[in-house]
Every structure is written in C-alpha cells, then in structure tokens.
Structure 1
Amino acid sequence: MATLTEPSSSLSFTSSHFSYGSIGSNHFPSSSASNPEVVSLSKLSSNLEQLLNNPDFDYSDAEIIVDGVPVGVHRCILAARSKFFQELFKKEKKISKTEKPKYQLKEMLPYGTVGHEAFLYFLSYIYTGRLKPFPLEVSTCVDPVCAHDSCRPAIDFVVQLMYASSVLQVPELVSSFQRRLCNFVEKTLVENVLPILMVAFNCKLTQLLDQCIERVARSDLYRFCIEKEVPSEVAEKIKQLRLMSPQDEETSPKISEKLLERISKILKALDSDDVELVKLLLTESDITLDQANGLHYSVVYSDPKVVAEILALDMGDVNFRNSRGYTVLHFAAMRREPSIIISLIDKGANASEFTSDGRSAVNILRRLTNPKDYHTKTAKGRESSKARLCIDILEREIRKNPMVLDTPMCSLSMPEDLQMRLMYLEKRGN
C-alpha cells in the first residue's frame, strides 16, 4: 500500500483531492468508503481537526494573532504544509521554552486583510485537507431573498481566503479559490468586481485579472471611481479597452476632454476636502454638481463633515440619478455611514427610490451586510453596528413615508433612540 510520503499515491494529503472538485464539500464519495486508504486518511483528517476544535487537545506551541484574538497553532504542521511558514519559523529567534512565540497575521500580509473566520477556515484545510462549507455568518448577506451565490459577503470571504492562500503559499487552495472568483465576475454587480480585481492584481493572478478588467471595461462604472479604486496601470488598461469598444451615442454620449478636465478638478477638490474651491469651480464654469456626479462621489469618498458642507451649498439634487440609475442615497448605502444617510434624508433624499435594476438603498445595504456584522454589538454591548444602524434608519424612513417624493425630512422627526445611537457612534469614532 502506498504511504503518505510516496509520490505515486493519488491521495496525497497535501493535494486538493480531498475537495473532490467542490469547495464546501465535507464528505468523501460513497464509492471510496470501502477503500482502506481513504478511510484511514479520513480518520487521520478528523483526528488532526481536534487539534483545532477540541480544547482538550490544546497542545499548540505558537499563537497567531488575528483581529486581536490569539489562535493556537502547531508549527510542525504549518511548516510541513506551507513553505511560507517553513521559512518564517526558520528565521525566528530563540524563545524561552516556557513561552509560546506569537505572530501577528497582519504583519504577514503585505496587502489585503484576512478576518478571524477566514483564517480559521484556512487553518482547517491546512490541518485536515478538507474544504468545508463556508461559515454562513460571514459568507452570506442579510437579504432574505438573496441566493448568496454572488452577494458581497460571499465575495469578500473568498477574497480573504485567496489572500491567505496566496501569501501563505498553499497553491492548491489558490487554484480552487481562483475558480470560485472567476465564477463571481460575470454573476455579480460590477462594483463587487473591484475587490476581486484587487486580489487578482496583488496576488498576480493574470487570468482572473484580465477577466475583471474586461468586465469593468464594458460596464458603465464611473471613470473617476475606477481611477480612485484601482492601480493606475489597471485603470489605464480599462480606459484603453473602452476607447477601442464601439459606443452607442444615444446611451453612452461621448464626453469632451474639456468637460472631463473640469469634472476632474471638481472631484480633486472634493478629495482635498476643499468645499470653497468646489463652490468656486462650480460658480465659474458651465458644469453643475449633478453633471459631475459630485454628490455621488462625495458620499462615497469624502469625510461625513465635508458631505454635510457640500449639501449645505444647495448646488446639487440629492435625488439626481447618475447614468446607471443610482441616486445619491444609493451610493451612500454602499458607504454604510449613518451620519451621511441622515444628512441626505434631512435634505429630502427619498429612501423609497429604486435603481434601474429594482433595488432600494435598503436592498443595497442588506446585500452588503453579513449576519455577523448585522447582529454584532459594540464593545460596550449597547449599540448596533453601523451597518445595522443604517438599515434601521432607512427602514423607519420608508415606513414613515413609503411613497413620498421630494419632501425634506427633518432630523428632529427621527426616533430618539436612533438619534442617541448615532451620537454614540460619532463620539466613539472621534
């Protein structure tokens, strides 16, 4: 019988064979149940899993700190399964036998972030060779009608796993998660492609990067948002692809370079938080804040106080729709900042408006929010998360005025508990 170390074995513990072609599978094929080698490896996998999950088997000799929480690990297993860890442990200084060495995960990652649940999922594969179902609390959203096959939490979780697998050098996982991310690119909304594009760029996944660039290039995603979100070389490739593609003049009118230059100056002034310069540029030119999509841009990228100052200028329509059919409130929902949403409602933003593809600001928020964030309380255990607070504000606004258009809402009419929660969050953030 082949051993675990023999290269001729088709069931090498370090291969991706255990996933049997499906991420999330936790079972071996029934036809393999009678194979003694498969049964033995399955038992070994389950036994090793106890080192992670069973407190009675805590024989860890090191800790990796993830989001401030120590995770006990066994250096011998990590070194055997990952070249990154093998090199890391070689370089470590001698530490007292009574003290476990500690490593910060964020110091291992030159780009991207990997949360606690994603790292535990990654470790589970390292120890067991199996890819389990994703934890629902961080890989699904709180929209009850979502299939969770391409919503933002599902994408974000796989993006985190890709960063971990690539940087920590587990190539079979890189291949598996790259296939999953490739499937997301065509199914999800184009704004959700950007985090996939960034992980492909940072991890040098050429095929995935090219697919993301092509998808963004044929979308109507705002040019200046692309330049803000992605590396300059990628933005230039997208720009060139768009120039090469034929455009329908009726649906995509060509914007003159002179107009683009004026828009760029306004948006750069917003980036600099220079409200007076924004006002001056708008006053001295024939372009409006709406034509520049200035409010849309501001609610995504500007400080909340700057957003309030821009709104106070009364130079833009808070219910103005951009070329994609999104109002300013729809963009604010993507930001998930309660004070900005309240500022827009104060100025008459209609929470009942739908995008051209039938989504309200609440729908957008719910598709962006996972159950963990929705239900998590703050450190003091009294306040909901910002995402939950944003959803509550919008849902209450809709219940009060489900069909109201163009009726400014006064902040004094907001329920007192929401006002108190917002004030608490603002103080906590200062």
Structure 2
Amino acid sequence: MANSSEPSSSLSFTSSSHISNGSISHNFSSSGSESVPSLEVISLSKLSSNLEQLLVDSGCDYSDADIIVEGISVGVHRCILASRSSFFRDLFKQKKGSSGKESRSKYCISDLLPYGDVRYEAFLVFLSYVYTGKLKPSPMEVSTCVHNVCAHDACRPAINFVVELMYASSIFQMPDLVSIFQRRLLNFVGKALADDVIPILVVALHCQLSQLITQCIERVARSDIDSISLEKELPDEVIEKIKILRRNSQQDCDPNMPAVDPLHEKRIRRIHKALDSDDVELVKLLLSESAITLDEANALHYAAAYCDPKVVTEVLGLGLADVNLRNSRGYTVLHIAVMRKEPSIIVLLLTKGACASELTSDGQSAVSICRRLTRPKDYHSKTEQGQEANKDRICIDVLEREMRRNPMAGVTSISSQIMPDDLHMKLLNLENRVDLGRCYFPHCSEVLDKFIEDDLPDLFYLEMGTSDEQKIKRMRFMELKEEVHKAFNKDKAELNLSGLSSSSSTSSPKKLGATQKVRKL
C-alpha cells in the first residue's frame, strides 16, 4: 500500500528535543558504529506503550468521556486529548456534550465534524496517534478492496481511509498528522483513477491544502470526466479553473477544434433537470419539442447515477434508450450503476438486457468496478434482522452470477433466457427485497432467511438433476410458498394485535411494498 512508503510518524529520537503539537520528539546519535538507546529514549518508548494500554486494555479503563462513532462508544481521557489538541481543549472548556451516569460526558463525532466523515476504524487510528505519537498501520478490512488483483495502492477504499484520517487530523487540529496524510494523498493523485481523485480534491478544499488542491485540479483537468459529473461534486470556482485548463490544453493540441453548441447543451441539461425532479412526463415533452434523443442526452446514464430507481424504471419503460449505450468515456449504463452500488437498479438493467461482460476502455468489467469500490468489511458483513440489506455483497453476487450464467452475452436480454421454472432472477430480487420487510414481517423474514441459507444451492435451478430430484425440488418450493403464507398471516395477526388495522397497514407505502413482495413469491 501507499502508506508503506511514507515516513513514520512515530517518536523519533535525536540528541535534541522539541515539542510539536503537544508531542515530544527526540533523536539520539552515537559517534560509534552502533547506536545504543539512551535511558531517555527507553523511557519515552515505555511511556508511549503505557499510554497505548489506556486504549487497548479493558482493565485500564479510566476514561472520563465517550465519543460515539458509528454507534460505538469510544472511551477517551479528556486530559490527554486536551494536552494534544487545541480543538479538544476548547471543546472540554465549553463543557458541552450529553451527560450520562456519574456525569460522564458524551460527544457524537458527527456533531464535532462541520464537514467530511470519520468512521470507527479511522478514528481509532487517529486516537492511537494522539495517545502514543505512533501511527498504526491501516486496517486491511477498511483500507483495501475485494478485487483479487488490486495492489491496494490507490483503490477507492485506500483513498477513502486516508481522506477520513485527513478530516480528523485537520478538524481536530493535529498539524503533524495533516502533513503526513497530505503526502499520502499527493502520492495517490498520480496513481488513482480520475474519478477517485475527486474525494481527494474535496478534502483538500475543506482543509485548505493549496498544494494538494493544485495537483488535483491539474489531474482532473487532464481527465475525461464530463462537466455534469464535476458539477455534482465540486464548487463552481473549482469547475471554472478546470474548464480554463481544458480550454488552454485543447487550443494547444488543436486550435481548430469546434466549440460546443450551447443550445444543444442547454437542451440536454433541461432533460437532466427533469430527471432530477422525477418528472419523466416532462422528459417526454422535452424530447418531443427538440431534436435531442435520450441517448444523445445520456439520460439513462444520468438516471442510473443520480435518480431514484423508479425513475430509471420509467425511463426504461419509454423504450427509447439503448441499455448498452456507451457514453463519451466508454462507460455503459451498467458501469455507471455499479459505481452507485444500488442492487435494484443493477437487477433492473440486467433484466432489460444490459450486458455484464462489457468492458470499459481500460479493461474493467462491471463486477471488477464494483469489487474495486467495496471494502472487505462491507463485503463480509452479515445483515442483522431489522437492518438494511448488505448492498455491497448483493451487487457483486448479482453481477458474478450473471457472468456465470451468460459469460459470452452480447446484447441479448437475459429475460429471454429465463425458463418458467428458473428461480434465478426471482432469487436475486428476493435477496434485495426481503430486508425491506424485516421490521414489519419478522416471521416471513425468518422463513426466507432459512431458505436462503439451507435450500438456495439445491433450488437454484429447478430444471437440473434427475426427474426425481426435480420433483423433490418442486415440492420443496411449494412447501416454501406455504410456509411464507403462514408466516405472513402470523405477522398480520400480530400487527392487528398491536393496534394496526389491515387497512392502515396496506396504506403505508413501505408495508404495501413488503406485502406485495411476499405475495409475488
């Protein structure tokens, strides 16, 4: 990983000492051929280890405040944080934060961050440095991706983890850490894909890192990221700088290059604004009033990237867009959809004929893009009852199953290849949908969870196996339908007992959707 080449931020020992941001650094050198640690060096190293025990040893829990990160309470010692960071010193002087038992103050990290995001693992690495003066290695489960051939030196999870640490270091006023992580991010800029430079530029703008801002702007200006995508992520003044650099570069390369038609561009943006408003009827009206087509506006790409899944469904329903169209960057609609990691859109596109085996101009398939964006922690996490489904895992599984089913597919719709008894697409939709009804239909969820765990491999293809095996599979499937029906009636009875009438339960959009999905099975 990139951070392996970075200079260590641990305590270095020299003959002179200085204080920087509350941390003491010492160097020790010997005129002889071998360096022998001094008593002072050994004492400082021991002090660092002892302070670390306050964080890692549950038997040394003398913390007097809590910082809540991703719902997890992290015990901290206010005297240590205040001595190392002027941010925390000022915070504790104000005596803000909710008080629990024994007047123990609690702070939610989201309330402390005016911008950006710092998740649990990144906060622990930051906190460890505050206590010990040593920077721990980045945890692999949150700073790498699940792509099996990625070097993890500039993939999105690796970048995002350092971005989180930069937010923490800047906001909590640790300038020595800011310097370290700025060097890491500068290293990423030259290696990363252009799209992955955007979050680096955003954090550089927030933290006012001029050198990093300049290099990011130059890198993005050289890329083929379109203006519409940039406008979704960056402030106007930065976009203007990028446009100026691009115009200058184009004039140097080809001074006779034709200018963009402003009227054509305006019509495309009107279609995109209509999609932003979820108004597909307005889209139809705009198409009828101009010579612009959905494909010319890359409307399906735009909807897959930014709009509600129902808008994507409606745009596809118009029958006017090519589901395998490539945009100016060589991305199909499916390539764009997997970057968003929304399973319902991916399944919808596959059902409508999107080809999962299509490659980008740099040789990436949809599943490789998705794997490169996914952390091992997210991929392997288990969904607890009542929680949102593991979308990262579902997206990858859906794409990989489609690749196995149809590895040489062209533009043929997968829906045309589904046999009446083939449960493949039903099960893909089931994985994505069942969690939406967990809160309202726990008994149904329990039945379906058991089915996915125990019977899914055997029932994946009903037409496979001997006639007797197929008969057994069909009988098991009918039993499953009966079990779901009984579980649904039980859930419905409990809802009625809790004071919810059947009419009121069906009037709720969420409950209606869950009821319909159970009935479809």
Shared fold, TM over 0.5: yes
Bigger Rg over Cα: 2
Q: Which amino acid aligns with 1:46?
A: S
Q: Identify the match of residue 335 of structure 1 among 332, 340, 360.
A: 340
Aligned equivalents of 1:414 and 1:341: distance in 2?
Answer: 15
Kept in 1: contact 2:304–2:345 (CA 8 A):
yes
Kept in 1: contact 2:66–2:74 (CA 8 A):
yes
User: How far 1:427 sits from its partner (Å)?
Assistant: 4.2
Aligned equivalents of 2:143 and 2:96: distance in 1?
Answer: 38
User: How far 1:242 sits from its partner (Å)?
Assistant: 1.7
Kept in 2: contact 1:375–1:384 (CA 8 A):
no
Which residue in the other structure is 1:307 paired with? 312
Does residue 156 of structure 1 match 2:164?
no
Superposition pairs for residues 264-283 of structure 1, below 5 Å?
264-283=269-288
Query: CA 1:185 to 1:13, structure 2 compared with 1: closer, same or farther past 3 Å?
Result: closer
Aligned equivalents of 1:220 and 1:420: distance in 2?
Answer: 38
Which residue in the other structure is 1:420 paired with? 430
Q: Which amino acid aligns with 2:219?
A: R
Q: Which amino acid aligns with 1:198?
A: V
Superposition pairs for residues 181-220 of structure 1, below 5 Å?
181-220=185-224
Does residue 406 of structure 1 match 2:411?
yes
Aligned equivalents of 2:227 and 2:204: distance in 1?
Answer: 20
Query: CA 1:382 to 1:409, structure 2 compared with 1: closer, same or farther past 3 Å?
Result: farther
Q: Deviations over 1:24-46 (max 9, x none)?
A: xxxxxx97662332222111111
**SS where residue 17 of structure 2 aligns?**
coil
Which residue in the other structure is 1:42 paired with? 45
Which residue in the other structure is 2:90 paired with? 87
Q: Identify the match of residue 255 of structure 1 among 254, 260, 276.
A: 260
User: How far 1:179 sits from its partner (Å)?
Assistant: 0.7
Q: Could you tell me the percent identity over the aligned residues?
A: 60
Aligned equivalents of 1:414 and 1:337: distance in 2?
Answer: 19
Task: Tell me which protein shows more helix as a share of its residues.
Answer: 2
Which residue in the other structure is 2:489 paired with? none
Q: Any runs of at least 4 consecutive aligned residues in structure 1 with deviations exceeding 6 A, and if so which?
A: 94-97
Deviating more after overlay: 293-302 vs 228-237? 228-237
User: How far 1:209 sits from its partner (Å)?
Assistant: 1.2
User: How far 1:226 sits from its partner (Å)?
Assistant: 0.5
Aligned equivalents of 1:96 and 1:406: distance in 2?
Answer: 60
**SS where residue 98 of structure 1 aligns?**
helix
Kept in 2: contact 1:374–1:384 (CA 8 A):
no
Greater RCO structure (CA 8 Å; 6+ sep): 1
Aligned equivalents of 2:73 and 2:213: distance in 1?
Answer: 34
Q: Identify the match of residue 65 of structure 2 among 62, 66, 73.
A: 62
Query: CA 1:34 to 1:8, structure 2 compared with 1: closer, same or farther past 3 Å?
Result: closer
TM-score, normalised to structure 1's length?
Answer: 0.90
User: How far 1:246 sits from its partner (Å)?
Assistant: 1.7
Q: Deviations over 1:330-352 (max 9, x none)?
A: 00010000000011111100000
User: How far 1:169 sits from its partner (Å)?
Assistant: 0.5
Aligned equivalents of 2:354 and 2:369: distance in 1?
Answer: 16
Query: CA 1:17 to 1:254, structure 2 compared with 1: closer, same or farther past 3 Å?
Result: farther
Q: Identify the match of residue 127 of structure 1 among 119, 131, 140.
A: 131
- The unaligned stretches of length 5 or more in structure 1 are 19-29
Root mean square deviation, CA, Å: 2.7
User: How far 1:428 sits from its partner (Å)?
Assistant: 6.3
Q: Which amino acid aligns with 1:62?
A: A
Q: Which amino acid aligns with 1:420?
A: L
Q: Which amino acid aligns with 1:232?
A: D
User: How far 1:240 sits from its partner (Å)?
Assistant: 2.1
- The unaligned stretches of length 5 or more in structure 2 are 1-11, 27-32, 440-509, 511-521
Q: Deviations over 1:130-164 (max 9, x none)?
A: 01110000000001110000000000000000110
Aligned equivalents of 2:34 and 2:117: distance in 1?
Answer: 39
* Count of aligned pairs: 415
Does residue 178 of structure 1 match 2:182?
yes
Aligned equivalents of 1:91 and 1:13: distance in 2?
Answer: 21
Aligned equivalents of 2:392 and 2:310: distance in 1?
Answer: 19
